[in-house]
Amino acid sequence: MKYTFYPGCVSRGGAPELYTSTMAVAEKLGLELEEIVGAACTGAGVLQEKGIKLGDTLNARTFAMAERMGHTTIVNICSTGQGVMAQANYRLLNTPGYLEEINEILKEEGLEYQGRVVIKHLAWVLVEEIGLDALRPLIVRPLTELHIAPFYGCYILRPSWALGIDENPGREQYLEQIIEACGGEPVNFPGRTKCCGFPILMINERNSVAMVGNHTLSAKDHGADAMVTPCPLCHLNLDGYQPKASSQKGTKINMPILHLPQLVGMAMGLSDRELGMHRHVVSTKDVMAKASVRA
């Protein structure tokens, strides 16, 4: 299966293990991910504070590039990219005259967005297009010993109307379904759809770190061995700032934070090196041992 691929800024910056683990898992799945060369940052919701139209134009430019490549499903591996693109596409397709106005700007680059793009996170592609029945035979190391807490965060679920949750209510449970397909036990905990704190990390670090502490401790209290997230920004905060959260809470947390493709890759028998586990701040050694993945 061939898809247009939007890796986003963070998988090529602060979380390179997301990129490499995605590629390793894609190869096993037979997914051909063709990257959109020259696509801009989605704006991540921050640029949209400066002006919604600016963000929408940059995203429409990316959509037009995808259309030109011929395969109109864009695969995201970052929830924030997924959410921001979906919101932009929703406005472009549902605001009378807006698409024409944006296309006027894109014309200068010889681009035109025709409104045919579908934006899907890798989690959605796994469940809706590849199918969990096709994934199961690839699981050579079922994660039977592992209790995994799914951390959805915000952008892959809200706003629900832009993300098609009403039409596909299962999207609120895909992480649990994937964990189960990998042989693991999903852990339900109160923070699963809340904010990780990353968007205010630089503005109000105390609050941001408090969110990290609350979610990781809550997952731990509910029996999780690790958390899994579809968003690299959630990973950066929950993993990178966990030492600070530990200090703030006055207790050792030690909760490994896996990227979604790392979880799937573990179950597929990929090595910790291939999955970039050595790049985590919170050690994944215990999780790897439980999953019996060779070091």
Partner 1 sequence: MQATLSVRRQDPESQQPSSWMQEYTVEVPEHYTVLDALIKVREEVDPSLAIRCSCRAAICGSCAVRVNGRARLACNTKLTNVTPEHGVVVVEPMGNQPVVKDLVVDLSVFWNKIRAVAPYLQPEGPEPEEEYIASNESMLLLTEVMGCIMCGACVSDCTALEVDSNFLGPAALAKAFRFTEDPRDGADADRLQSLNEYSGVWDCTRCMMCVEVCPKGVAPMDRIMALRERVMDAGMTNTVGYRHVAAFAESVEHAGWLDETMLAVKSWGMFNVPKLIAALPVGLRALKRGKLPMPAPFHKKRPGHENVARIFKRLEGQK
Using CB under 8 A as the criterion, what x/- string covers residues 4-23 for binding partner 1?
A: -----xx-xxxxx-------
Stretch that binds partner 1, among 89-97, 114-122, 188-196, 220-228 (CB under 8 A): 188-196
Please count the residues of this chain forming the interface with partner 1, following the rule CB under 8 A.
57
Site string for partner 1, 148-187 (x = CB under 8 A): ------xx--xxx---------------------------
Residues 199-258 that bind partner 1 (CB under 8 A): 199-200, 202-204, 206-207, 210-211, 214, 240-241, 243-244
- Token pair belonging to 53: 């139209």
Question: Rounded to the nearest 5°, which phi and psi values hold at 227?
Answer: -115, 155
Beta-carbon count within 10 A of 128 CB: 14
Q: Which helix (H) or strand (E) holds 148?
A: strand 147-150
Give the shortest CB-136-to-partner 1 separation in angstroms.
22
Q: Which residue of 109, 131, 170, 289 would you call a contact of partner 1, by CB under 8 A?
A: 109
Is residue 37 close enough to count as binding partner 1 by CB under 8 A? yes
Q: Which of 111, 113, 219 is nearest to 175 (CA)?
A: 219
CA-wise closest residue to 11 among 215, 207, 236, 187? 236
In the complex with partner 1, the residue whose CB is nearer, 160 or 292, is 160
Name the helix (H) or strand (E) containing 257: strand 257-259
Q: Kindly state the tokens that stand for 169.
A: 């209510």
